[in-house]
A and B are shown apart, each in its own frame.
Chain A
């Protein structure tokens, strides 16, 4: 049954009226127009729909709307940067051509962002472990790894 939910998405407070069991993915895409978060499988198996909730990466297709609290900070790919104002990680994806079709890229970038917030200087093995459940059928994996490593190196440089 449709209920009203208060959310905080990309720093903005929004009111959504929907069934509590509607996956966050479809709330973001169709009710809030945030279509950067992609539908790839709806079963939590590809990672294309990853979003940050309080800084951790979640698969929004597996998160019912009712489980998102009003004070939770939801951040989608649109909240990480925008054309003309890219995050360093987004820029690194461009610099390394870390995509083919680009469909999985938002989920890749969001998942990598969560990793770098948790661990600003990850080893390659740690990056692989954190990213391994995100699938890219164009198989841009080597370039994605390089992009994440270079973004991490940039962050480390800023902190010194």
Chain B
């Protein structure tokens, strides 16, 4: 006799006798109370969003399951990670696990997909949920089968007798829908009774990706949408206003259906993407903009408005030690404005039905998008349904995307289903959410034996600082100065860890040289976290540091970085500098990362190698140049990102020495960060040029070589 919910209720008599209830079999889980809770995590200022995922896993009668998360597939491999975890956690074949991601009507608000945290928070949350569900199902089966739970064991998507092979009941027979368990708090170092091992499976979206059948936002409703775009201000600032434009002429163009003033510009709706883009370009728009000196000295402007925001760390008397020190190094490092430049530009589709709106979007934060759309339309958030589609690269650009608001507003006023697809210029400049330029003043005092004695670090920026406590220094002061930035800024892969690490790790090499120590020995002598040492050794050995001599113009550099003490990385870079052209070529990258349990090596390697190439781009090429309110970057040809021919051999290794109990600790952004400092340090090793600004362009190299 197959077990059904009805037979169970009959078997159980009264379900109230047990701490178990059954949800009816429906696609949507009942929202848990609270649906998702921000939790404080020790050592972290940021709030983590976490859901008790036992509430978000549905078990179906056929033994398959559906898991829900508000986090999104960005290409980082979250779909594969969650599929691996849940299929192994419940011992089910991968095809029995279905994921629903980023749908605000179906999923918990368990946080935006940022901060390299999805595997740790959602992935490990589901692993723990699977542990609890397995234990619960054994208890359930014991009641149903009339056998002590101690004689039963969970195996392969069901519960079986330890010694009686005739006893077996599948999970789909035990539960129909959601398992209701008491709410579980987030536990940072959760110890699992079951061991996870990476199945080495391919990316679950692979077949759809290579056949062009994975549907991104822009692929929805072909031929069944209107397109909308807007007159693009020639200035990146939000303060610009449309002074004049031939909006009537725009409206008369064939294929244009609707033109309206909106925000500081005008929106154009038409039958096709080319129609609206050409209409916008032909508007003859003139813009007014507040006065500003065309020559923008970013460093001077950042310093001028700075106010002390927070003292991040303060021990002892670093100023006194620096004043008395015998070997004291004082430097300033400045990083550039940069752009995320995903290949898929920001895209959204919106459809309004009465006072409700559905938005399909390329967004890293569907619940944030929902709130923005609700505010834009002046309707309650529950009337807004955001469906996050697979994102064609986010890198921070799609955390605060405005495409959903624009599409929703125009869908409402035009009465059409509207698709908004940013063109490349709009992607670079309309939101003006560049990675911010950061000024870092750093000073160190070091003993002749190579022990760091004191350090002061003042960071001038708007975001929080990256990790500054890589080294064990007795007297230290780290301060964050906030300043009105010359241009609006946003989040970009690695956030401010990038700028902080570039300054600290470049400076570390300067200090090491001042006391005649090599970069590896000096770092190992001063480490705050011992687990960095094997990472440095691994990189040094693999790149042949010290064991082979390099020709003139070539050099090896190192850098290390950690993210909240739970993700550690070391990178070694070998570069060659052409003294005639000034061109820097990265010849080899070695990365070693202590990031805990590996859930999917397949996706982890892909992501890590890509992240290191990001570091290469930031170190050597990428910069948004600004003149006053004008950006110099409008096309991909204005913004050099890494290409095939830039990429050296790259090797990566993964380690787990920080926490004895292995948990996945995340690795999405970390590898970018030390790669930048390692390349800058390698350039110094190659030709003796210390760069205090990025990117390290041929012109800067040639200018530097002339001054040597």
Contact = CB atoms under 8 A, between A and B. Distances in A.
Interface of A: 19, 21-23, 26, 29-43, 45-46, 48, 76-78, 80-83, 86, 90-91, 93-95, 97, 99-106, 109, 127-129, 131-145
Given A103-B342, A135-B641, A143-B609, 13 more contacts: A32-B222, A38-B392, A40-B344, A42-B277, A77-B211, A78-B212, A83-B208, A90-B210, A93-B206, A100-B606, A101-B390, A103-B75, A140-B610
Given A103-B393, A139-B614, A43 B210 contact: no
Nearest to A110: B212
B214 interface: yes
A134 B635 CA distance: 15
Given A31-B223, A145-B644, A137 B203 contact: no
Interface in B167-216: 202-203, 205-216
Contact of A137 (B206, B218, B342, B603): B342
A39 B393 CA distance: 13
A128 to B, nearest CB: 5
User: Which of B206, B213, B219, B273 lies at the interface centre, i.e. has the most chain A CB atoms within 10 A of its CB?
Assistant: B206
14 contacts: A35-B219, A38-B218, A45-B637, A82-B213, A86-B210, A99-B203, A102-B210, A105-B209, A105-B210, A140-B606, A140-B609, A140-B610, A141-B644, A143-B609
Given A139-B647, A143-B609, A38 B223 contact: no
A118 to B, nearest CB: 17
Contacts of B77: 100
| List of 8 A-B pairs having minimum Cβ-Cβ separation, nearest first | A36-B212, A101-B75, A103-B392, A102-B209, A139-B613, A77-B212, A35-B219, A100-B75
Interface residues of B, number: 63
A100 B644 CA distance: 15
Given A137-B393, A142-B647, A103 B343 contact: yes
Q: Say whether chain A's binding surface is mostly helix, strand, loop, or mixed.
A: loop
Interface string B411-441: 0000000000101100000000000000000
Contacts of A142: 609, 647, 649-650
Contacts, number: 195
A99 B222 contact: no
Contact of A97 (B341, B391, B605, B614): B605
Given A30-B272, A90-B211, A139-B613, A102 B392 contact: yes
A137 B341 contact: yes
B212 to A, nearest CB: 2
B121 interface: no
Given A83-B211, A102-B75, A137-B343, A97 B219 contact: no
A109 B210 contact: yes
Nearest to A85: B211
Contact of A101 (B206, B392, B423, B605): B392
A31 to B, nearest CB: 6
A91 to B, nearest CB: 8
A77 B642 CA distance: 24
A81 B212 CA distance: 9
B645 interface: yes
A137 B650 CA distance: 17
B635 A94 contact: no
A94 B343 contact: no
A139 B272 contact: no
Contacts of B609: 139-140, 142-143
Contacts of A45: 424, 635-637
B667 to A, nearest CB: 13
Given A82-B213, A101-B390, A132-B643, A22 B606 contact: no
A139 B602 CA distance: 15
Contact of A39 (B222, B273, B341): B273
Counting chain A CB atoms within 10 Å of each CB, the highest count among B602, B610, B613 belongs to: B610
A32 B650 CA distance: 41
Given A100-B76, A136-B343, A139-B609, A94 B212 contact: no
A20 to B, nearest CB: 12
B222 A83 contact: no
Nearest to B395: A137
Interface string B72-101: 011111000000000000000000000000
- Most chain A CB neighbours (cut-off 10 Å) among B77, B212, B342, B421: B212
B269 to A, nearest CB: 15
A59 to B, nearest CB: 12
Contact of B209 (A76, A99, A139): A99
Output the residue of B208, B344, B650 with the most chain A CB within 10 A. Answer: B344
Given A35-B215, A35-B218, A109-B210, A41 B635 contact: yes
A94 B636 contact: no
Contacts of B688: none
A142 B606 CA distance: 9
A103 B344 CA distance: 7
A86 B76 contact: no
A133 B345 CA distance: 18
A26 B272 contact: yes
A102 B607 CA distance: 12
A102 B208 CA distance: 9
A97 B204 CA distance: 10
Nearest to A76: B212
A94 B202 contact: yes
A145 B273 CA distance: 33
Contacts of A140: 606, 609-610
B205 A102 contact: yes
Residue with the highest number of chain B CB atoms closer than 10 Å, among A33, A35, A78: A35
Contact of A26 (B208, B273, B392, B635): B273
Contact of B211 (A21, A78, A128): A78
B274 interface: yes
A93 to B, nearest CB: 5
A46 B645 contact: no
Contacts of A26: 272-274
Nearest to B277: A42
